[in-house]
Every structure is written in C-alpha cells, then in structure tokens.
Amino acid sequence: MSVDAVLSRIAEIRTQIDALRGTPTTAAASGSTASGAASSGAFADALATATGTGTAATTTSAGAASTAGATAAPATSVDAGRGTLATGSGATGSDVVAAAEKYLGVPYVFGGESRSGMDCSGLVQTVFKDLGVTMPRVVPDQADMGVPVGSLQDAKPGDLIIPKGEQHIVIYVGEGKVLHAPRPGKDVRIVDNWYKDSDIATIRRIVPSEATAPAATPTVASAASAQSVTDLQTAALLSAMRVGSAA
C-alpha cells in the first residue's frame, strides 16, 4: 500500500474518532450496539491495513453479527430458600396470585399436581414452579421456605398461610381472601379467609411482594463510546507506524 493511501486511511479514522466524540452518552441501547459494531469493524479494518492482512475486518464483523443475533438463555429455576426471598426468578407476590388463578376450577385430587387434579400443597408447588421457583412438595416443608410474616395484618398478596398442625396451606390474594385447593369433592377456588392469627402456625413470603427497581446504568453507553475511540486511536497509531517502517 502506498504512503498516500495509508495517510488517506488515517484521515478517515480521525474523522470517525471525531464523530464518536460527538455522540451523546445517553444514546439508546440499540444505537450503542450499532455504533459499537461499526467502530469494531473500523478498528479491524485499520489493523488489517497496518499488518498487511485482509481477514481481520471480516472476522470481527462476523463476531459482531453473531453477538447481535444472540438471545438470552431462558431463566433457570431457583430454589425457595429458608430465611431468604427467592429473588432470582424475578417473580413477585402479584405474579404468584396471577399464576394461581390459572388453576381456578381444577378439582381436588389428593397427591395431584396438574390440571387434572391437585391438592393444596401440589397447587402451591405447581404455582411456584410456573414462576421458576422450586418448592418442596409437602406442607411441613413448604412452611419452612421464604421469610416469616408477623401477622395477617402484614400479609401481602402471594404470601402462604399455614394453619397450626400444618395439614393445609392457602395462598393469600389480598383483601381478606385466599386461594386454595380445599378437599375432595371441591375445586381450586378463592374464598374469604377464615383463619385468625391464633389459628396460624406461620405465614411465609417466598418471593418479594413488589418488584425491585433495576439499578441505573448511565455509564454503559459512555464506556462503550470511550472504548471505541481508544480502538480507533490505536488503529491509527498502528497505521502511522507502518508508514514509518515502510519509509
């Protein structure tokens, strides 16, 4: 490559650097991705010019395309912990209620845990499974999960109420009502809560009652832009060094 061609290429890279420096740091995620892919391609192209190879740009572009086309892996199931909330699934108390309402009308079947029939603890286990949370199968074990809630006054939708004796379990849906699979001959239903605090062994909260606001990430776009500028500056320097060695 002639000296004039290399100098022309350096001028193009400087123009790209100036353009990147003028890019707002609050760009949308899609704009940031496109800018990052373009700058990566420019870096690879300049690097290929400096080293005398012609494959770097193609390889980098393919990698960028592969990254852009990738999709997030499905969330895996998390265990309901003892003494802690199962935050990993992203589910909230309202999600628990919504998932449980899908089983309204399913007949009670002892030992059942499907739409063809389920018992009280089978219902609870299935509801949380639908939300990506693994719960034990029987009431006494379910009564150990999550964190305790002090009283009915503190209960939130999605909390589990276990009466003394731990022979039954219901899902609190709010406004003094519960959802449960009662007994043979009945189906999954919502009824007025009949338990008093004195009747209850424990109330358990398995997932957060409300969603937690995601942490702000204002520096991601600016960091990507700064890295792109650095890459292009490095490419320009490599090109200039090659011109010097050729002379």
Active site residues: 120, 168, 180
d(CA 47, CA 218): 31
d(CA 39, CA 13): 10
CA 86 to chain CA mean position, Å:
13
d(CA 129, CA 198): 30
User: Per the structure block, which two tokens stand in for 79?
Assistant: 């265990």
d(CA 5, CA 58): 20
The CB density around residue 67, as the number of other CB atoms within 10 Å, is: 12
At 28, is the secondary structure helix, strand, or coil? coil
